[in-house]
Structure 1
Amino acid sequence: MDLPPSNKSYQDVNYWNERYSVEENYDWFKTYKDFVHLLERHVKKTDRILMLGCGNSSLSESMYNDGYKHIVNVDFSDIVLKKMNQRLPSMEWITMDIKHLAFLARSFDVVIEKGTLDALLVDEDVWHISDKGAEMMSQIMENVHHVLSQTGKFISVTFAQPHFRLPLIRKTFWEVNYETFGDGFHYFFYVANMKTESPEGER
């Protein structure tokens, strides 16, 4: 697939609809086998999992085939979700913008994103995130916080280095750890746990 005319295209559903209409599969930042050793430390086979911005990645399919049977996939592209549902009807595929997650509170044990936040931030100066970008990230993190159980985890797979990504995640009740994977070029595997609730009025 050719690169888009500008980085802003990665935030445009029309770009993705056009791309997904001809593209069958693409995995950003490696595949499941490259970081399964990290994932299995933090995710149980019985967990209810929400996959943010699933696209046409093989991640959900690989996890499902490995025993993770409770996966809900969301993306803002109808086209890709229809194609994925035809290919893998055993999972849920729901059209939804991750900036406006419409799930009940405490619905999931784990929320995973792989490259979705990078796509949303691709037009930002990583050293100086704009007010709009920071507000968007805060909104997404608040949405993730809302749908996670009290013992839930948010997992982010990305090439964003800690001094860029950690401040954006930690703003919303997280205790965050990370590991790296990959040969030569390192990718990052962030795990954000819900903090123990503070006494009323303290945050």
Structure 2
Amino acid sequence: MESNSRYKSLDYWNERYKEEDHYEWFGDYSKFKDVIHSIVRPSDKILTLGCGNSRMSEELYLDNFTNIVNTDYSPVLIEAMKNKYHSLEKMSWLVMDINNLEFEDNSFDCVIEKGTLDALLVDEKDPWNMSQENKFKMQIILEQVSRILKNGGVFISITFAQPHFRKPLYAHDKFNWSIQLFPIGDTFHYFIYVMKKGEELSAGDRELNSFKKLSDSKIKPVELEENNLFLIQID
């Protein structure tokens, strides 16, 4: 049986995307279309993180959300998606790692990730006690997402992670956003978290903050010159 730990490997995704035309995590766009319509405007500039070969961007585009920038760290995937959707001229595709978002501050009205953070956390052995390394990795990513969001913009995170596991990662005053939760499904649930920049956390959400002790740790990010990736180093 294939190990989920391979989801963190660029080689794995490059090889997979050479053969696979399409795969949809958490169901198709119709499952969360109503949530998108309630918080995103057709004129908004949208960024997708770790877009993969999902049809989400195509379906957003055909639903009149056409100002979309798609990113993924697999050059094989990005080239394939450029060719596949070349007729959707307003949409762009960039090779970019989620750990190093090369956009200016306040660039987007909406940032969407669907399963990308889940893939980055596949090696977490105990979701009740997340490792300091993964907490630090998530803090780096979420700080960048907040930085590139415009004031009043939204970060939409679509995930299997239940609120008691995932909400504490999003609940930090430094991200400068509120948190709203939309459970999706009947017997089998996944979750849509909507973070709105410029709104304060509720008092209850603030108490959930997973990053309170990170400032005292000896963990620090180390940037690699090759591929602009980040590792975590413990002194």
- Does the alignment reach a TM-score above 0.5? yes
Out of 122-131 and 14-23, give the one that drifted further.
Answer: 122-131
Q: CA deviation at 1:175?
A: 0.9
Rounded to whole Å, the distance in 2 between the matches of 1:42 and 1:16 is 31
> What are the equivalent positions in structure 2 for 1:1-203 lying under 5 Å apart?
4=2, 6-89=3-86, 90=89, 91-124=91-124, 125-171=126-172, 172-196=175-199
- From the CA coordinates, give the structure whose radius of gyration is larger: 2
Instruction: Give the superposition deviation at 1:174.
Output: 2.4
Equivalent residue of 1:61, what SS?
helix
Distance 2:199 2:115 in 1: 28
1:99 partner SS: coil
State the alpha-carbon separation in 2 of the partners of residues 115 and 158 from structure 1.
5
Q: For the residues of structure 1 that align with 2:93 and 2:149, how far apart are their CA atoms? A: 19
Residues matched between the structures, number = 194
> Aligned equivalents of 2:85 and 2:158: distance in 1?
23
- Unaligned runs of 5+ residues in structure 1 are 198-203
Root-mean-square deviation (CA), in Å? 1.2
Tell whether the 8 Å contact from 2:14 to 2:75 is kept in structure 1 after alignment: yes
Tell me how far apart the structure 2 counterparts of residues 83 and 67 of structure 1 sit (CA, whole Å). 23
What secondary structure does 1:135 align onto? helix
Q: Distance in 2 between matches of 1:120 and 1:109?
A: 24
Contact kept, 8 Å, 2:178 with 2:199, in 1: the verdict is: no
TM-score when scaled to structure 1?
A: 0.92
The residue identity in structure 1 corresponding to 2:16 is R
| Alignment partners' CA distance in 2, 1:181 and 1:145 | 25
Long gaps (5+) in structure 2:
201-235
Write the letter of the residue equivalent to 1:183: D
Sequence identity percentage? 47
Shift of 1:132: 0.8
- What amino acid does structure 2 have at the position aligned with 1:133? N
1:143, distance to aligned residue in structure 2 (A): 0.6
